[in-house]
A = this chain, B = another copy of it.
Amino acid sequence: MIDLDPIVRSRFLPEDREIAASEGVTILDAAQANDIPVETVCSGKGSCGTCRVLIRETEPPLPNAHDRRRLSDQQLAHGWRLACQHPVAEDAVYTHPVGVRAVRVVESSGLGRIRLDPDVQKIYVKPADPTLHDQSADWSRIQDELAAVAGDLDPSLEALRRLAAIGEDIGQGITVVIAGNRIVSVEPGDTTERGFGLAFDIGTTTVVGALMNLVTGEEVAVASGLNGQHIYGGDVISRMSVTMRGPEWVGRLTQAVRSTIGDIIERCLDASGVDRHEVYELTFVGNTVMEHLLVGADPSRISYSPFVPTMVDPITATAAEVGLDVLPSASVWVSPNVASYVGGDIVGMMLSANLGRRRGNVLAIDVGTNGEIVLQKGRELFATAAPAGPAFEGAEISQGMRAAPGAIERVRIEDDAIEVDAIDNAEPVGICGSGLVDAVAELVRTGLVTPSGRLLWQEEAEQAVPAHADRIIPDKTGGAIVLYGSADDPDSAIKLHAQDIRQLQLAKGSIRCGVNVLMHHAGLTADDLDEVILAGAFGSYIDPAGAIAIGLVPDVGPEAIRAVGNAAGHGARMCLLSLTARVRAMDLPARVSYVELSAVPDFQDEFALAMGFPAPS
């Protein structure tokens, strides 16, 4: 058999191996076919820049647009090119970055299998010793070594300070820590096997931070806390009414959330024994208002028409700029936002639910005070935001409470009794959001509440649902029904009032209205949906059947509904551990068509329609 392709021979460093490849094959493919571990994140699309090689012994090819986008001017001038963009050349010598941690796929704490290719790289170099005849600066000698493996990069002041403090021990070798295109730190000796980052989900209510090992992908510690801004109101609207008082109030809200973040950082470091200067990068997702406040930007304009944020693009900064007490030069990456009310947390949700890349038609809802809704129709993405109010969190419900021990979370109306489950099997003391959904779903199913949302009068119930009629307590505001305890002792009973049902109707009506508008916009019906995803701390606790029963989501059957928990926080971790994921997150917002509900002409009619409950089947 005759091989018609001419063979090209080239050499790869630092392996110092000569390989043979067919003419026209890319440098990357040639390397991979010969088990030379040239890294790639984007698998040869030219978009990630990790497959860069230094070309010697042959004229480097003219850089193309991908080279120019991913490599610096200095790198191009020195002969660095992307291995995936150029064919192997006869007699060429290719040097690829070493010491950079190899990309691998890991199972990471609840994220499933993800590609571990963090933005942070550590490279160990051993510079030449200085002499009276070569007094070149320490940094210059390190850069000489570094340029050969990573190209020319500028040191941060912090890196220079640390290098100066290391002094003579430079002779033992230095580990250079790179985040993005910046040298964020240097450490004495070879520390390439250690490195950490923090991933944060900044919720309006709760802030969650995870300390992640960037070498193994493992979660090292996790901590959460009530967002210190809570004293300024429970939702983003109240927070913005505070920022409108003046610039010093913006500062207070910014300080409040940074203090919460700082506290979480301390707890993660304490629990793990990790040094704060080993934290090289932090990623953040949050809604648009939280992200503005994180960086100290007044979000007020988001609160009034035409609802414009100051920025939606991803933000990169340093830990010092954001006032966080880790390595001052540590890289901070704040997720892009889609729009004023579809923020970085939703980008995180889309990322972790793989929206925009998976098959089929998928509806994803982050259920909370602000309901964010994303609809994937094939390759298209649509999003909107629906202000749901706090009912799903148990607030503004007469006996509502947060999901805490004693909160009723499940309700089942049997033929002759009402069964309730309280969190931790404690004595029921109130009702939380998931219990509220369950209770209303059961009341609708049994006919105690009409499809229009009205609680039957006692006389009506005696006709229609006689076993439970005595649970109804009449009053001037539409009555109440006892869920736990006795109607004879109404003060100690746990009751659901007609107004509570109304609150839930408003909340779910708002979200469902958003769902309907998006579905209509995309030309989809419930039958077209392959899956419905419920995200957010609250979304994870809703019973899928209940969600359908109250009409929160279209009737796709409970088996097509999936709760994914804190998808936003997962997104933040993915962006920390994987540059591939981060690049996808950055590409997502531009792919989303945002639909502003208040600009929909028949919005009031849609909302009224969405308020009703489905007729029980």
Question: Are the CB atoms of B309 and A132 closer together than 8 Å?
Answer: no
Which residue in chain B gives the minimum CB-CB distance to A139? B311
Count the copies: 2
Task: With A154-B316, A161-B297 given, name 17 new contacts (CB 8 A).
Answer: A65-B77, A68-B76, A130-B306, A135-B339, A135-B594, A136-B312, A138-B301, A139-B310, A139-B312, A157-B295, A160-B297, A160-B315, A164-B300, A165-B250, A165-B297, A167-B301, A320-B320
Question: Are the CB atoms of B165 and A298 closer together than 8 Å?
Answer: yes
Question: Are the CB atoms of A138 and B308 closer together than 8 Å?
Answer: yes
With contact pairs A132-B596, A164-B299 given, residues A317 and B138 touching in the complex (Cβ less than 8 Å): no
Question: Are the CB atoms of B599 and A132 closer together than 8 Å?
Answer: yes
Question: Are the CB atoms of A157 and B321 closer together than 8 Å?
Answer: yes
Residue A604 interfacial (CB < 8 Å): no
Q: Whole-angstrom distance between the alpha carbons of A599 and B305 in the complex?
A: 73
Question: Are the CB atoms of A310 and B164 closer together than 8 Å?
Answer: yes
Interface residues of A in 60-79 (CB under 8 A from B): 62-63, 65, 68-70, 73, 76-77
Q: Whole-angstrom distance between the alpha carbons of A309 and B76 in the complex?
A: 29
Q: Whole-angstrom distance between the alpha carbons of A301 and B337 in the complex?
A: 47
Question: Are the CB atoms of B312 and A157 closer together than 8 Å?
Answer: no
Which residue in chain B gives the minimum CB-CB distance to A141? B308
With contact pairs A168-B301, A320-B320 given, residues A160 and B310 touching in the complex (Cβ less than 8 Å): yes
Question: Are the CB atoms of A132 and B598 closer together than 8 Å?
Answer: yes
18 A–B pairs (Cβ distance < 8 Å), ordered by A: A65-B77, A132-B306, A132-B599, A133-B599, A135-B306, A135-B308, A137-B311, A137-B312, A137-B337, A154-B316, A155-B311, A157-B315, A157-B317, A157-B321, A160-B311, A163-B310, A164-B297, A165-B298
* A587-604 contact mask (Cβ, 8 Å, vs B): 1 or 0: 000000010101100000
Interface residues of A in 39-72 (CB under 8 A from B): 62-63, 65, 68-70
Q: Whole-angstrom distance between the alpha carbons of A339 and B136 in the complex?
A: 8
Q: Whole-angstrom distance between the alpha carbons of A76 and B68 in the complex?
A: 8
Chain B residues whose C-beta falls within 8 Å of the C-beta of A292 in the assembled complex: 164
Question: Are the CB atoms of B77 and A68 closer together than 8 Å?
Answer: yes
Q: Whole-angstrom distance between the alpha carbons of A247 and B137 in the complex?
A: 20
Q: Which of A306, A311, A317 has the most CB of B within 10 A?
A: A311
Interface residues of A in 110-152 (CB under 8 A from B): 130-140
Which residue in chain B gives the minimum CB-CB distance to A63? B68
Residue A459 interfacial (CB < 8 Å): no
**What's the minimum C-beta distance from A108 to chain B, rounded to whole angstroms?**
30
Q: What 3 A-B pairs come out closest when comparing CB atoms?
A: A164-B297, A164-B298, A164-B310
Which residue in chain B gives the minimum CB-CB distance to A312? B137
* A449-486 contact mask (Cβ, 8 Å, vs B): 1 or 0: 00000000000000000000000000000000000000
Residue A313 interfacial (CB < 8 Å): yes
Which residue in chain B gives the minimum CB-CB distance to A299? B164
Q: Which of A140, A160, A313 has the most CB of B within 10 A?
A: A160
Residue A335 interfacial (CB < 8 Å): no
Which of B65, B139, B300 touches A313 (beta carbons < 8 Å)?
B139
Residue A173 interfacial (CB < 8 Å): no
* A226-250 contact mask (Cβ, 8 Å, vs B): 1 or 0: 0000000000000000000001001
Residue A26 interfacial (CB < 8 Å): no
Q: Whole-angstrom distance between the alpha carbons of A298 and B138 in the complex?
A: 12
Q: Whole-angstrom distance between the alpha carbons of A272 and B77 in the complex?
A: 45
Residue A340 interfacial (CB < 8 Å): yes
Residue A296 interfacial (CB < 8 Å): yes
Chain B residues whose C-beta falls within 8 Å of the C-beta of A312 in the assembled complex: 136-137, 139-140
**What's the minimum C-beta distance from A508 to chain B, rounded to whole angstroms?**
25
* A263-290 contact mask (Cβ, 8 Å, vs B): 1 or 0: 0000000000000000000000000000
Interface residues of A in 293-343 (CB under 8 A from B): 295-301, 305-313, 315-317, 320-322, 337, 339-340
Which residue in chain B gives the minimum CB-CB distance to A293? B164
Q: Whole-angstrom distance between the alpha carbons of A250 and B164 in the complex?
A: 10
Q: Whole-angstrom distance between the alpha carbons of A300 and B315 in the complex?
A: 37
**What's the minimum C-beta distance from A586 to chain B, rounded to whole angstroms?**
13
Chain B residues whose C-beta falls within 8 Å of the C-beta of A77 in the assembled complex: 65, 68-69
Question: Are the CB atoms of B594 and A157 closer together than 8 Å?
Answer: no
Q: Whole-angstrom distance between the alpha carbons of A65 and B298 in the complex?
A: 42
Q: Which of A137, A139, A163, A310 has the most CB of B within 10 A?
A: A310
Q: Whole-angstrom distance between the alpha carbons of A317 and B311 in the complex?
A: 24
**What's the minimum C-beta distance from A58 to chain B, rounded to whole angstroms?**
18
Q: Whole-angstrom distance between the alpha carbons of A599 and B132 in the complex?
A: 6
**What's the minimum C-beta distance from A275 to chain B, rounded to whole angstroms?**
15
Question: Are the CB atoms of B135 and A340 closer together than 8 Å?
Answer: yes
* A361-375 contact mask (Cβ, 8 Å, vs B): 1 or 0: 000000000000000
Q: Whole-angstrom distance between the alpha carbons of A330 and B13 in the complex?
A: 42
Question: Are the CB atoms of A167 and B298 closer together than 8 Å?
Answer: yes
Chain B residues whose C-beta falls within 8 Å of the C-beta of A339 in the assembled complex: 135
With contact pairs A69-B73, A161-B297, A299-B164 given, residues A307 and B137 touching in the complex (Cβ less than 8 Å): no
Q: Whole-angstrom distance between the alpha carbons of A131 and B308 in the complex?
A: 9
Q: Whole-angstrom distance between the alpha carbons of A598 and B133 in the complex?
A: 10
Q: Whole-angstrom distance between the alpha carbons of A154 and B321 in the complex?
A: 15
Which of B63, B73, B157 touches A296 (beta carbons < 8 Å)?
B157
Which of B62, B301, B309 touches A62 (beta carbons < 8 Å)?
B62
Question: Are the CB atoms of A161 and B68 closer together than 8 Å?
Answer: no
Q: Whole-angstrom distance between the alpha carbons of A317 and B321 in the complex?
A: 12
Question: Are the CB atoms of A308 and B130 closer together than 8 Å?
Answer: yes
Interface residues of A in 154-183 (CB under 8 A from B): 154-155, 157, 160-161, 163-165, 167-168
Chain B residues whose C-beta falls within 8 Å of the C-beta of A68 in the assembled complex: 63, 68, 73, 76-77
